[in-house]
Amino acid sequence: MSTLNFALVGCGGITLQNHLPGLALCPEVRVTALCDADAATLERARQQTGATILSNDFEQIVTRDDVHAVIIATPNHTHVPVALAALRAGKHVLCEKPLALNVADARRLVDAAEAAGVRHMTAYTYRFVPAMRYLSHLIAQGDLGQPYHYRSCRLQDWGTRNLGWRQVKQFAGTGELGDMLSHRIDFAHHLVGPMRRLVANVKTLTPVRDGKPNDTDDWVAILAEFKNDATGVLESSKLASGRNESWRSLDYVEINGSEATFEFTTGRWDSLQHGRRGGPGLQTLSVPREFWTWPGSPRDPGVGDPLVSFRYDQAFEFVDAIRQQRPCAVTFADGVRSQEVMDAAIESAAQGKWIDLSGA
């Protein structure tokens, strides 16, 4: 097995929390090159990885012959130029979500990745929660029956603090929609299938955050119809005061079908709630041990906080797809599909009407 050399572009929060610990668990993987626009952030990542190739210019990093794969974890507006540069240089790319600021740009990434013949992956990290994997498996084997309703609710308390680039539309594209709801849109596609049409609203209730203008949405809701006639109701908010943040706050998905109901909550990584049609109500269903880690992952699920460590399997899946020369479990096409829904949600909110989707 030859060593894979990785470059990271963007060494801020998510790189430190997810990407570096994930890569550290992968055999025969070296983080050799780092890029960040901020010198102190770059230095911190250098100390953590021992990487020797450092730059604040992504072109210099992603075009190097000794770099095989690139992880992009910069603010959203930079994903497309960095990814295109890496793909044109023939690198495998794992890009953070949302892939782009609009669906046309996201499609350019799929085209470039396919033309380059490389592995491509969108970082829909919550696909790696053991309970989500088990739920997906149960649905695929028919336990839900015909899907009737998909419902997701993500409620966090971010108060009115400054969110940096996340509250500037030019850099983020959208607020809660791209940041948090995009993962739940991806769940909907993964569990139910493509959407046919939607109507949505977005709201900015904090136009000023800690003295700085915020032109992104704090709240979003989508009412959707899927191509298979199932319905979807998706809501996400940064302003659910008192609910705390991250995995401590509500991240709920319920799916009702002709045979059963399943309820998934990110905070309960090793169980689902499940009820059969005509049964006594919802009961706890434990996630079997074989779903606690991604197939082949060397991660010990007993080490660390399981609500954090499942995220490390994302890097393993990317590395494994590169080695096996097979498509990643979550590709750029998944990023495009949710980007189309995000664009439609913004258009619907602006025009106050239903928007048809390609349903691809």
Ligand X SMILES: NC(=O)c1ccc[n+]([C@@H]2O[C@H](COP(=O)([O-])OP(=O)(O)OC[C@H]3O[C@@H](n4cnc5c(N)ncnc54)[C@H](O)[C@@H]3O)[C@@H](O)[C@H]2O)c1
> Where do contacts with ligand X occur on this chain (CB under 6 A)?
9-14, 35-38, 41, 58, 73-76, 78, 96-97, 123, 125, 164, 179
**CA separation (Å) from 228 to 52, 240, 250, 286?**
51, 32, 28, 29
Shortest Cβ 358–ligand X spacing (Å): 24
Question: Which is nearer to ligand X, 47 or 141 (by Cβ)?
Answer: 47
Give me the amino acid identity at 33.
A
**Alpha carbons 154 and 135: distance in angstroms, whole number:** 18
Mapped onto helix, strand or coil, the DSSP state of residue 139 is helix
Peptide bond into 213 cis (omega under 30): no
In terms of residues, how long is the chain? Answer: 360
Between the alpha carbon of residue 247 and those of residues 59, 251, 252, the distances in Å are 35, 7, 11
Least distance CB 247 / ligand X (angstroms):
11
In the complex with ligand X, the residue whose CB is nearer, 273 or 338, is 338
State phi, psi for 160 to the nearest 5 degrees. -115, 25
Query: For residues 79 and 92, which CB has a smaller minimum distance to ligand X in the complex?
Result: 79
The conformation of residue 157, written as its DSSP 8-state character, comes to: B
| Residue nearer to ligand X on the CB measure, 161 or 289 | 161
Task: Give the separation between CA 54 and CA 356, rounded to whole angstroms.
Answer: 45
Cα separation values, 183 from 27, 31, 151, 282, Å: 28, 27, 13, 25
Report whether 203 contacts 217 (CB < 8 A).
yes
For residue 58, the minimal CB distance to ligand X (Å) is 5
Torsion of CA 122, 123, 128, 132, to 10 degrees: -70
Q: How far is the CB of 278 from ligand X (least distance, A)?
A: 38
Which lies closer to ligand X via its Cβ, residue 182 or residue 261?
182
Distances (CA, A) of 294 to 26, 29, 129, 157: 12, 18, 9, 31
Q: How far is the CB of 36 from ligand X (least distance, A)?
A: 4
CB of 216 or CB of 256, closer to ligand X: 216
Nearer to ligand X, 59 or 143 (CB): 59
Compute the least distance from the CB of residue 148 to ligand X, in Å.
29
Q: What is the Cα–Cα distance from 118 to 322, expressed in whole angstroms?
A: 8
User: Cβ(106)–Cβ(116) under 8 Å?
Assistant: no
Rounded to a whole number of angstroms, the minimum distance from the CB of residue 313 to ligand X is: 13
Instruction: Give the residue at shortest CB distance from ligand X.
Output: 12
Closer by beta carbon to ligand X, 199 or else 341? 341
What count of Cα atoms within 13 Å lies in the side-chain half-sphere of residue 9?
A: 30
Q: Which is nearer to ligand X, 12 or 232 (CB)?
A: 12
**Of 12 and 257, which CB lies nearer to ligand X in the complex structure?**
12
CB of 94 to ligand X, least distance (A): 10
* Helix, strand, or coil (residue 286): strand
Least Å distance, CB 124 to ligand X, is 7
Place of tokens 């604040």: 56
Q: How far is the CB of 245 from ligand X (least distance, A)?
A: 12
Which residues on neighbouring strands pair with residue 152, listed in sequence order? 234, 253
